[in-house]
Amino acid sequence: MLKVVEDDTAHDHMKALGAPMADYLRTKEWLEDKIAQGKKKRFAEVVALTPLLAKLLLARNPSNRPISKLNALNLQRDIADEKFVFNGQSIVVSNTGILNDGQHRCEAVAQSGRTIETVMVFGADEEARFFTDLGKPKSAGNLLHMKGRKYASVLAASVSFYVQLQKFGTLYNSGTQTPSKATIIKAVEEMKGIEKSVEFTVDSVKTVRRHAVLAFCHFVFKRRADVETADEFILRLIDGDGLRRGSPIHYCRNRLLSMGRGYTARDCVEIIFKCWNAWRANATIDHLKLSGGRLPKLER
């Protein structure tokens, strides 16, 4: 039986962590035992990282880099949506009992209230914390490339745009609204036809550029109308052949060509969407104003 000693310090800490005293003492005793073993010999094991254990580890996290709210939030969403995958990446506790690596995973578990399976390493030198995460993190495009996808970075960006459109009705350059890498990887598997749209718009690199934007728009258009109509609009936008002044596609092409780096993907998509709507309505167009808000509903 676990002996429960309710001294003031333990009681206050237990209340702060929001855990029953017995669970708090059991988890704390387990962690301290592992730290003691790590002082004698380094070792690793697969454990269930509970919210309580995550909070105890975060309490052993002095002088670490500030937690990235976006990184922690993306991990929290992945855990809550059951998209977090066991990948062998470890949480490292030093031989002095300090959390050397893994604070974002601990924060995500603590905030989500969900338990994940992870590797924990005990006994690393405390100074080793200054030599972790020195490499460039893998992007969603890098991960898709590793899975054998063509034009992986463009594919990742166009999928990110579509996920945002479905959820928010608009696009964001960065921040908490942008999907996590795990969400993008899973969405690629679910979005049948997105890779064909990326392939179809590859020539845009030589003309109007904005490959990811064009791939995203082509994918959306063929779901809204049909493949043939989407193909016609995007092909004419890319090659520019036979376009007359006043034509929505002519205006769209010239506008995209004149847009510098100060314009976002959302700006380009708004123009393309509005020109699509005008084209489908057989209207002419010679001026468009950006709204900066939700993207317009598309005509069929």
Task: For the chain, give the longest Cα–Cα distance.
Answer: 85
What is the rounded distance in angstroms from the CA atom of residue 261 to the CA atom of residue 283?
29
Q: Where do the structural domains in the chain lie, given as residue ranges?
A: 8-131, 140-280
| Contact indicator for 172, 67 with CB cutoff of 8 Å | no
What is the rounded distance in angstroms from the CA atom of residue 94 to the CA atom of residue 55?
17
Strands 43-49 and 99-101: unpaired
Among the listed residues 236, 242, 299, 248, the one whose alpha carbon sits nearest the alpha carbon of residue 272: 248
| Contact indicator for 3, 26 with CB cutoff of 8 Å | no
Residue by residue, pLDDT tens for the chain (300 residues) are: 334 444 445 555 555 566 788 899 999 999 999 999 999 999 999 999 999 999 999 999 876 667 777 778 888 889 988 888 898 899 999 999 999 888 889 999 999 999 999 999 999 998 877 766 545 577 899 889 988 999 999 999 999 999 999 999 999 877 778 999 889 999 999 999 999 999 999 999 888 889 999 999 999 999 999 999 999 999 999 999 889 988 999 999 999 999 877 889 999 999 999 999 999 999 999 888 998 888 999 988
Radius of gyration of the chain (CA): 26
Q: In degrees rounded to 5, what are phi and psi of residue 276?
A: -60, -45
What is the rounded distance in angstroms from the CA atom of residue 284 to the CA atom of residue 300?
17
| Contact indicator for 197, 224 with CB cutoff of 8 Å | no
What is the rounded distance in angstroms from the CA atom of residue 67 to the CA atom of residue 109?
14
Quickly list H helices, the chain.
Answer: 8-17, 21-40, 51-58, 69-80, 103-112, 140-146, 152-168, 181-190, 194-200, 211-224, 227-239, 248-258, 265-280
Residues contacting residue 14 through CB under 8 Å, at least 6 positions apart: 20, 21, 24, 25
